[in-house]
Amino acid sequence: SLHLPLLQIISATVDNNRMLLDIDNSKMTADDFRMKYENELVIRQTVEADINGLRNLMDDLTLVRSSLESELESLKDELIALKRNHEEEIRQLQSQTGGDVSVEVNAAPGEDLTKILNDLRDEYEQIIEKNRREVEQWYEVKIQEVNQQVTSSSQDIQTSSQQLTELRREMQNLEIELQAQLSTKSSLESSVAETESRYGRMLQQIQGQIN
């Protein structure tokens, strides 16, 4: 009969110790989760700040792109005006030759327009190269900072990786758009040069007939 109370006391003591151990383990687990949460919160805030900073730079590049589009529209308008002037001058030449000349040409290649195109090309290339270099340098630094702060948690790494992938995709899209604008500008320059050359050759023919 004495053994039964003793066994009960021992059993209760073991149960109490087990409960205390479970409580300690639960506290350690809770502390571990809290630390992981706080670390992940810091990383997330850092990544969000990085994204906002990059978006600001992208906004600047978007302004540059808008400026390029505006300049290209101006070039198109100038090309139209140049063609109109060519046609008007040819009509005047035709009236001098009694209408025998049927070609439509302009007086001489526009040196001013060529200079404008060269100046614009240099300006565009400098602006785009400067912005691209700044974005690449800033982006590489931020990638290193994020990589250093990412913990061993696979979920944290996956989240950060997705955000970095999205950043790369946005930068690539903007790069493609800028290249498209440069291509359009180059095509317009070629069109102007070809028009000037063709009109110049035809003008020589008319002047030869007049003389």
86, 105 in Cβ contact below 8 A? Answer: yes
166, 49 in Cβ contact below 8 A? Answer: no
Confidence of residue 91 (pLDDT cuts 50, 70, 90): confident
Q: How far apart are CA 74 and CA 82, in angstroms?
A: 12
Using CB atoms within 10 Å of the CB of residue 201, give its burial: 0 to 12 exposed, 13 to 18 middle, 19+ buried. Answer: exposed
Parse the chain into domains and list their residue ranges: 51-210
79, 191 in Cβ contact below 8 A? Answer: yes
Average pLDDT, the chain: 69
Q: What is the pLDDT of residues 180-206, one digit of tens each?
A: 666 766 676 677 677 778 777 877 887
Q: What is the pTM of this model?
A: 0.33
Q: For residue 107, is pLDDT > 60? A: no
Neighbouring C-beta atoms of residue 198, cutoff 10 Å: 16
DSSP 109: -
Q: State the average pLDDT over residues 50-68.
A: 74
Q: State the average pLDDT over residues 110-132.
A: 67
Q: For residue 101, is pLDDT > 50? A: no
